[in-house]
Amino acid sequence: MDDAVARKGLVLVGCGKMGGAMLSGWLKGGLPASSVWVKDPYPADWLKDAGVHLNEDFPQAPAVAIVAVKPQMMGEALPQVAALGGGETLVISVAAGTPISKFEEVFGAGTPIVRAMPNTPAAVGRGITAIIGNATTTPTHMALAEDLLSAVGQVVALERESQMDAVTAVSGSGPAYVFHLIETLAAAGENVGLSPELSLKLARATVGGAGVLAEEADETPGQLRTNVTSPNGTTQAALEVLMHQTTGFPALLDRAVKAAADRSKELARDE
């Protein structure tokens, strides 16, 4: 963890599931609790014993301020930290659908601002976060943002902010697609004779295990699929249904991801 963060302090606005996951990662990574100021109107019980400064006045120029509130709470949260604008504090937003321009209106264009899109597996340290900075951010700012956000998983840098809608559609919303796959796979198992409990256990373990294998194997997902598909076997019979160009996964996921990306653009315009 960057020494400047420990020395100058970190302000976390909003400590729900995502903010709490990040804070837990920072504390486990060695950031002193005494260097953290948390602003949250409804703090979880564990925060009261974590040793952080909870709903206290924060430093005038902390190293970082992270805004981790829901988009609908932004109007209430941002005025509380607007005084941190000006350049001395790096502002990081993990609020979905809120563009950098919104933060520049509040903090000023001279404030280094990083917009980030994490996803819910961050709760178990297996998330992936995409980041993009405004014109004021330096490589040092981006490195600091990556260091902080890597506490909950992988971090990737985008080339332009417009890519954030696609990131939202693929990885931000993506866990819900996988959870629905587990639901439907379990239901299909019941339809061919398994008990609900056994079918759900098989579906969870199969999707979870396949995900780890896909992430850690040297082969591409396509090659891994080929590896488990015997000619004229059971897997091929299933894949002929799933890979159908008009009724299978390719067309279905194209439509689903496009719908999510389009909605992300709409939400940004509504800001």
Domains and CATH numbers, the chain: 3-167 (3.40.50.720), 172-270 (1.10.3730.10)
Q: How far apart are CA 69 and CA 53, in angstroms?
A: 18
pLDDT of residue 71: 76
Confidence of residue 98 (pLDDT cuts 50, 70, 90): confident
Binding site for NADPH: residue ranges? Answer: 55
Alpha-helical (H) ranges within the chain are: 3-8, 17-28, 74-81, 100-107, 139-149, 164-167, 174-191, 196-216, 221-227, 234-242, 249-270
Q: How far apart are CA 84 and CA 234, in angstroms?
A: 60
Q: How far apart are CA 44 and CA 24, in angstroms?
A: 13
Poorest-pLDDT segment among 70-74, 210-214, 256-260: 70-74
Q: How far apart are CA 148 and CA 28, in angstroms?
A: 12
pLDDT, greater one: 29 or 112: 112
> Residue 128's closest CA among 94, 176, 171?
171
Q: Which residue has the tokens 């960057």?
A: 2
Phi-psi region of 214 (alpha: psi -120 to 50; beta: other; left: phi over 0): alpha
Binding site: residue ranges? Answer: 55, 68-71
Q: What is the pTM of this model?
A: 0.89
Above 80 in pLDDT, residue 182? yes
Above 70 in pLDDT, residue 124? yes
How large is the average pLDDT for residues 244-262?
95
pLDDT, greater one: 133 or 71: 133
Q: Which residues pair with residue 113 across a beta bridge? A: 91
Query: How long, in residues, is the chain?
Result: 271
Above 80 in pLDDT, residue 241? yes
Q: How far apart are CA 119 and CA 116, in angstroms?
A: 10
- Residues of the chain above pLDDT 90, percent: 80
Above 80 in pLDDT, residue 72? no
pLDDT of residue 271: 59
How large is the average pLDDT for residues 192-219?
97
How large is the average pLDDT for residues 78-97?
90
pLDDT, greater one: 96 or 137: 137
Binding site for NADP(+): residue ranges? Answer: 68-71
In three state form, how does the secondary structure of 102-162 look?
HHHHHHCCCCCEEEEECCHHHHHCCEEEEEEECCCCCHHHHHHHHHHHHHHEEEEECCCHH
Above 80 in pLDDT, residue 257? yes
Above 70 in pLDDT, residue 270? no
